[in-house]
Amino acid sequence: MLLGPLTHPDLLHALAAAGHGSQVLLADGNYPHATGANPGAPRIHLNLRPGLLDVDQVLEAVHATVPIEAAAVMTPDGGASVPAHESYRRLLGERVAWQELGRFEFYDACRGPDLAAVVATGDQRLYANLLLTIGVRE
């Protein structure tokens, strides 16, 4: 029996197999899960219905399970503020490096060889995608 906040077997497996520098994509419900990420990365479907689960809920469990050293978000053209990003920064804290990428730059980053998993959520917020880089255990 697990004691931590994360109990999803496939997500635990993906995180346990990932190491320092590996990346995990927490994708909103609008993200092209099948084509917008490295084809070799497993897809973990947590998108039960629109709005459930959202990226914040998954981030809380992942952040309590693995160290995170960096995060990248997808930003809209024109640099408009994205409310979801504010909650991610609050949840991750100041020690996590932060990067903002345009839509196609974000897709390119998610297609890289270091992507260990894609987590499909039911998050309906626009630009609520979050690419996490796993750090080292201290």
**Residues taking part in catalysis:** 20
> DSSP labels for 57-71?
HHHHHHHTTS-EEEE
d(CA 116, CA 40): 8
d(CA 89, CA 67): 15
**Is the alpha carbon torsion for 120, 38, 82, 65 positive or negative?**
positive
